[in-house]
């Protein structure tokens, strides 16, 4: 209603986009506060091959569709790539709202998302170089060196940022929060948390060429090891929610409703690739890697949408002359429809699972597999279930009880038990 494609008041699209980007930073920062490096490494066996193959399948589907419309091969490939990467905001909000973000399924989806973000960073860096190489008359020795140097520079920059955060950030950021906490000022602590999230995200993009989402995620990942990680997550939650809402406002402002009338079949084709093609590819890959059926359905539903990276790549492709102008409208329309329908896809996971299990013996065998990331093994020896103390929750009290069991555990827990 407030976008440039509808009558009446027109808001500032550029400002809305910037505020939405802050929402992406804070959301990824919050996710990093709840994940550890071990969590990510535990899913690398499925996240890396899964993301790479799923992106390749979605790119091929999108490129084939664009080629059928008469687009050039380079434009068709770029268009296919825009349909292959999921939206950070939508995926995380969907997992959070269903309480599965920190489960094995959630860790797989987040690891998958991190791999896609890294792949898109490489694509955004290489696309101008490849377009320039094509414009200069094709591949030459000099242009080949340009591609390899751009790729090597990107990988070195990303590796340098990750190393800096894991080696230096692990020492500096927790120490900084400790010093701020000693002042006793809640406002100053909140300001410090927001400044760390946004500052590191911006620095990652400006200095290392890493996406702001990935930079904020690593900032949260490093701060997770601090004793104040839970407090930092709580203090930043209202800001994350407020700015994440603006992401959806910015998507609506980009949408031109006329595309639904002018190109209805093209919009339908894009939406089917995003919601059906990507989902089937992701589910097949998860099952092929011997994970249960429920995990495959949840991960495939998580990835069945597109968002901010797709907008960026489509805009870059149009500015470079690779994509026609209508490509951006189709990407935004596909994003809006897939975002709107994604909750319905999530709601269908359980009914579809029950329907498949009731009719397929193969599906029942797939569901009976042991989940490598399950919280508990299928069977537990009785000796592990006796003479134990169970801490419900994991707040500051539980953290202190872990650090000082003899001096803290029983005085703190006994009144609660009484």
As a whole number, the mean pLDDT across the chain is 82
Residue 149 maps to a domain: yes
Which class for 184: exposed (0-12), middle (13-18), buried (19 or more C-beta within 10 A)? exposed
Q: Which pLDDT does position 138 carry in this prediction?
A: 54
Residue 370 phi/psi, 5-degree rounding, is -75, 125
- Three-class DSSP labels, 117-147: HHHHHHHHHHHHHHHHHHHCCCCCHHHHHHH
Nearest-angstrom CA–CA distance, 212 and 215: 5
Residues 287, 366 contacting (CB under 8 angstroms): yes
Same domain, residue pair 350 and 392: no
Tokens of 365: 């065998």
pLDDT digits (tens, 9 = 90+) for 122-179: 888 778 777 776 655 555 556 566 667 777 887 888 888 888 888 888 888 888 888 8
3 state DSSP class of 22: helix
Same domain, residue pair 305 and 410: no
Residue 6 maps to a domain: no
Q: Which pLDDT does position 159 carry in this prediction?
A: 85
- Return the percentage of the chain with pLDDT > 70, whole number: 86
DSSP 47-79: HHHHHHHHHHHHHHHHHHHHHHTT--HHHHHHH
**pLDDT of 417 higher than 90:** no
pLDDT digits (tens, 9 = 90+) for 70-89: 998 889 999 999 999 988 88
Same domain, residue pair 285 and 403: no
Same domain, residue pair 259 and 332: yes
- Return the percentage of the chain with pLDDT > 90, whole number: 15
Residue 157 maps to a domain: yes
CATH of residue 350:
1.20.1530.20
Q: Which pLDDT does position 412 carry in this prediction?
A: 47
Same domain, residue pair 56 and 191: yes
pLDDT tier, 277 (very low <50, low <70, confident <90, very high otherwise): very high
| pLDDT, greater one: 366 or 67 | 67
Nearest-angstrom CA–CA distance, 286 and 108: 10
Nearest-angstrom CA–CA distance, 271 and 331: 9
Instruction: Give the lowest-confidence range in 20-24, 260-264, 391-395, 400-404.
Output: 400-404
Residues 120, 211 contacting (CB under 8 angstroms): yes
Same domain, residue pair 138 and 257: yes
Which class for 389: exposed (0-12), middle (13-18), buried (19 or more C-beta within 10 A)? exposed
Length of the chain: 418
Nearest-angstrom CA–CA distance, 412 and 99: 28
pLDDT digits (tens, 9 = 90+) for 206-218: 888 888 888 888 8
Domain membership of residue 404 as a residue range = 382-417
**pLDDT of 109 higher than 80:** yes
**pLDDT of 356 higher than 80:** yes
Same domain, residue pair 84 and 150: yes
Number of domains in the chain: 2
Residue 5 maps to a domain: no
Nearest-angstrom CA–CA distance, 22 and 243: 6
Tokens of 396: 């500051």
Nearest-angstrom CA–CA distance, 224 and 36: 7
Average pLDDT over residues 173-197: 89
Residue 366 phi/psi, 5-degree rounding, is -65, -40
Same domain, residue pair 163 and 134: yes
pLDDT digits (tens, 9 = 90+) for 308-337: 888 888 888 888 888 988 888 899 999 999
What's this model's pTM, rounded to 2 decimal places?
Answer: 0.75
For tokens 């090891």, what's the residue?
225
Residue 8 phi/psi, 5-degree rounding, is 100, -155
Same domain, residue pair 332 and 291: yes
Residue 267 maps to a domain: yes
Pick from 283, 275, 290: nearest CA to 342: 275
Pick from 344, 326, 282: nearest CA to 94: 344
pLDDT tier, 43 (very low <50, low <70, confident <90, very high otherwise): confident
Q: Which pLDDT does position 68 carry in this prediction?
A: 93
Q: Which pLDDT does position 408 carry in this prediction?
A: 47
pLDDT tier, 17 (very low <50, low <70, confident <90, very high otherwise): confident
Residue 65 maps to a domain: yes
Residues 71, 318 contacting (CB under 8 angstroms): no
**pLDDT of 418 higher than 80:** no
């Amino acid at each position: 209603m407030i976008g440039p494609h509808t009558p009446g008041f027109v808001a500032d699209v550029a400002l809305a986009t910037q505020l939405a980007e802050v929402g992406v930073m804070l959301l990824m920062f919050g996710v990093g506060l709840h994940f550890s490096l071990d969590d990510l490494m535990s899913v690398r066996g499925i996240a890396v091959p899964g993301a790479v193959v799923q992106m390749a399948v979605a790119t091929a589907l999108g490129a084939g569709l664009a080629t059928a419309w008469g687009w050039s091969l380079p434009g068709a490939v770029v268009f296919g790539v825009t349909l292959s990467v999921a939206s950070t905001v939508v995926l995380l909000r969907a997992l959070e709202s269903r309480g599965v973000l920190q489960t094995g399924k959630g860790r797989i989806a987040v690891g998958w998302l991190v791999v896609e973000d890294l792949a898109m960073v490489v694509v955004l860096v290489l696309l101008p170089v490849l377009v320039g190489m094509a414009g200069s008359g094709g591949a030459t020795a000099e242009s080949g060196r340009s591609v390899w140097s751009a790729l090597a520079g990107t990988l070195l920059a990303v590796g340098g940022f990750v190393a800096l955060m894991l080696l230096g950030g692990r020492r500096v950021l927790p120490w900084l929060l400790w010093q701020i906490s000693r002042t006793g000022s809640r406002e100053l602590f909140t300001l410090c948390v927001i400044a760390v999230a946004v500052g590191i995200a911006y620095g990652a993009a400006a200095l290392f060429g890493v996406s702001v989402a990935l930079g904020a995620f690593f900032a949260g990942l490093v701060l997770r090891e601090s004793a104040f990680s839970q407090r930092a997550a709580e203090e930043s939650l209202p800001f994350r929610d407020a700015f994440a809402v603006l992401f959806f406002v910015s998507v609506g402002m980009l949408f031109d409703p006329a595309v639904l009338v002018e190109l209805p079949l093209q919009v339908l084709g894009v939406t089917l690739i995003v919601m059906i093609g990507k989902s089937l590819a992701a589910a097949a890959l998860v099952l092929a890697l011997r994970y249960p059926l429920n995990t495959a359905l949840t991960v495939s539903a998580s990835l069945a949408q597109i968002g901010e990276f797709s907008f960026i790549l489509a805009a870059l492709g149009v500015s470079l002359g690779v994509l026609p102008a209508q490509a951006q409208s189709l990407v935004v329309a596909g994003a809006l429809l897939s975002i709107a329908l994604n909750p319905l896809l999530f709601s269908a996971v359980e009914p579809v699972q029950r329907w498949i299990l009731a009719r397929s013996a193969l599906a029942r065998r797939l569901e009976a597999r042991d989940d490598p990331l399950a919280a508990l093994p299928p069977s537990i020896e009785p000796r592990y279930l006796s003479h134990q103390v169970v801490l419900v929750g994991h707040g500051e009290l539980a953290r202190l009880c872990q650090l000082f069991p003899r001096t803290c555990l029983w005085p703190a827990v006994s009144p609660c038990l009484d």
